[in-house]
Structure 1
Amino acid sequence: MYNKTFTIKEHFLGFVPLKKTTGAFMAETLLGLLEQMGLPLENLRGQGYDYGSNMRGKEHGVQKTVLDINPCAFFVPCSAHSLNLVVNAAAKSCQEATGFFMSVQEIYNYFSASTKHWQILTSHLPTLTIKPLSPTRWESRIDTLKPLRYLGSIYDALMEIYNEPHPHKTTSESLVEAKGLAEGISKFKFVVSLVV
């Protein structure tokens, strides 16, 4: 949308629940909503979506349906999504980065697999929650790494589990895993990876 000075303005129109996720159904839903809102499709000058085939598909995607109705509504892949894919691919090509993020995920998996371990962690990190890694959203890794700034607290939680006064309540495998994770996050390479 634009005003009388031809300044482009963006507006959030809302969330829409979808019963199907096919390109045809999503296009039909979008076109119906634009019509309901009084937004003429002939004024549309661009479309930007992720790389999902239901959105960008050349035969049945939303962009194709809209482009068939209005040839001026060019499709441009979402640059944020494109950058995310590039960064993910670059990180996966680096063994150090892959190993680092695998260790980060192992920390989450370890604590989240046991309510007792989670309680011990939250006693050491009361205001932060560790989160799992998203395999596709690179920016979510920032939220995953924030609690790791308190590496000493995570180390203390792991060592509390390892040095538990009643080890019969925790399996030997879990104790060894706690010790291994504590040693892993204490390594210089891990700490440097966290900072870099």
Structure 2
Amino acid sequence: MEKQDFILMLEQARSEYRSRLEAVVDCIRLLLRQGLAFCGDDESEDSSNQAFETLDIIIKEIGDALFSILVDESCDISTKEQMDVVLRYVDKDGRVIERFVGIDHVANTTAVSLKGAIDKLFSRYGLSISKLQGQGYDGARNMQGEFSGLKTLILNENPSAFYVNCFAHQLQLALVAVTKKHILVAYLFSVVTMVINVVGCSSKRCDILREKQDAIISEALKCGEISSGRGLNQETNLKRPGDTRWGSHYATLVSLINLFSPITNVLQIIVDDGRANSEQRFEASNLLSLMLTFDFIFSLHLMKALLGITNELSKALQRKDQDIANAMKLVEICKKRLQAMRDNEWDSFLNQVSTFCAKYNVDVPYMDDTFVA
């Protein structure tokens, strides 16, 4: 590179840096003049920065058109119950628009209390419940309780306010319900949860887990077992499953399989740690024994394969442009894939499990033996 070119690049870099710096300084001055924090905003009654103007534009855009509401409840850091409201409507160009309109504090999350909060919100912004054409609630633990009652209260006033539950959420809840009914699958996730609690209960153990994983990846790269490249071999953490989080059970099993070796190493370290109390060492030893069995490894890989198929369906159902006709086709495709796995993929699946067991010196039962109940 010529010296002159280098000087030009340096000057350009300085100019760009000055522009960014001046923008930052301007923002800081604005915050200081208005007494605002560097994060958050001032929504007090005497503030000139309230969001009313934005909400007025949203309400004006809806006009006299039909709309739907999406409602969820949550607790803030002070454990106060809150109701989050989103309006969904079609704009003049035919596009489906979703706008967050606010968070309202509610005394409790009973159906009557939530309905009262919605009535106040409608009154505040001049919205008519007669124009309400749809209602949706994403709170699994409340679906059969408060939100179900809220749905009925609104339908009593407006029979056209049809209730629609999220397709992906319904799928997740159905999967969780089914797994809890099957004793072996319920047992699998019970053990998995205990493993996550023991291994991830302290930052020290998480650090050891990462160190063991880094060592395994480095060794595999040297031996040519895995390839390096952008997006490959990313750091993986143990993921905790949640009944209402889409795909969380699948993500948990994937992370457990990927971290199987470092997890067993961490458990063995706890067992050998003379400073740990006997209860912790016994728990780690018990989990280690459970993990290094064919039954556990088989169930782990089976549920990972099944949930991998349903996870693709779940992600497809979450697309904003999804419609019910296409959703039914996707469900049918998912059912066919599950049936194909049952009919044609048993041998390849068993070979995969056997290979995994061999890697960790776990005995594989002879499948042609006579089974005695």
TM-score by length of 1: 0.77
Query: How far apart are the structure 2 equivalents of 1:184 and 1:42?
Result: 58
Q: Percent identity, aligned pairs only?
A: 27
Rg (Cα) greater in structure: 2
Runs of 5+ consecutive residues of structure 1 not aligned to the other structure: none
Aligned: 1:156 with 2:265: yes
Q: Which residue of the other structure, out of 108, 119, 123, is the alignment partner of 1:35? A: 123
Aligned: 1:46 with 2:134: yes
2:248 corresponding residue in structure 1: 140
Query: How far apart are the structure 2 equivalents of 1:75 and 1:15?
Result: 21
Asked whether the 8 Å contact 1:63–1:75 carries over to 2, the reply is yes
Runs of 5+ consecutive residues of structure 2 not aligned to the other structure: 1-88, 212-234, 306-373
**Which amino acid counterpart does residue 72 of structure 1 have in structure 2?**
S
2:208 corresponding residue in structure 1: 123
Instruction: State the Cα distance separating 1:160 from its structure 2 match.
Output: 1.0
**Which amino acid counterpart does residue 53 of structure 1 have in structure 2?**
G
Instruction: State the Cα distance separating 1:135 from its structure 2 match.
Output: 5.0
Query: How far apart are the structure 2 equivalents of 1:138 and 1:98?
Result: 18
2:155 corresponding residue in structure 1: 67
Query: How far apart are the structure 1 equivalents of 2:300 and 2:111?
Result: 40
Query: How far apart are the structure 2 equivalents of 1:192 and 1:89?
Result: 21
Asked whether the 8 Å contact 1:2–1:8 carries over to 2, the reply is yes
- Relative to its length, the structure with more strand (as a share) is 2
Matches within 5 A, 1:1-196: 1-49=89-137, 51-57=143-149, 62-111=150-199, 115=202, 118-125=203-210, 129-134=237-242, 137=245, 139-148=247-256, 149-164=258-273, 167=274, 169-195=275-301, 196=305
Query: How far apart are the structure 2 equivalents of 1:53 and 1:174?
Result: 39
Query: How far apart are the structure 2 equivalents of 1:7 and 1:86?
Result: 31
**Which amino acid counterpart does residue 249 of structure 2 have in structure 1?**
R
Query: How far apart are the structure 2 equivalents of 1:37 and 1:150?
Result: 52
SS of 1:68's equivalent? helix
**CA deviations over 1:104-157 (Å, ceiling 9, x no partner):** 1111333466x4xx5124322365554544356564324543541211111111
**Which amino acid counterpart does residue 134 of structure 1 have in structure 2?**
G
Asked whether the 8 Å contact 2:134–2:164 carries over to 1, the reply is yes
SS of 1:12's equivalent? strand
The structure with higher relative contact order (CA 8 Å, sep 6+) is 1
Aligned pair count reads 186
Instruction: State the Cα distance separating 1:55 from its structure 2 match.
Output: 1.4
Asked whether the 8 Å contact 1:155–1:182 carries over to 2, the reply is yes
**Which amino acid counterpart does residue 267 of structure 2 have in structure 1?**
L
SS of 1:10's equivalent? strand
RMSD across aligned C-alpha pairs, in angstroms? 2.7
Query: How far apart are the structure 2 equivalents of 1:80 and 1:102?
Result: 24
**Which amino acid counterpart does residue 56 of structure 1 have in structure 2?**
S
Query: How far apart are the structure 2 equivalents of 1:14 and 1:125?
Result: 40
TM-score by length of 2: 0.44
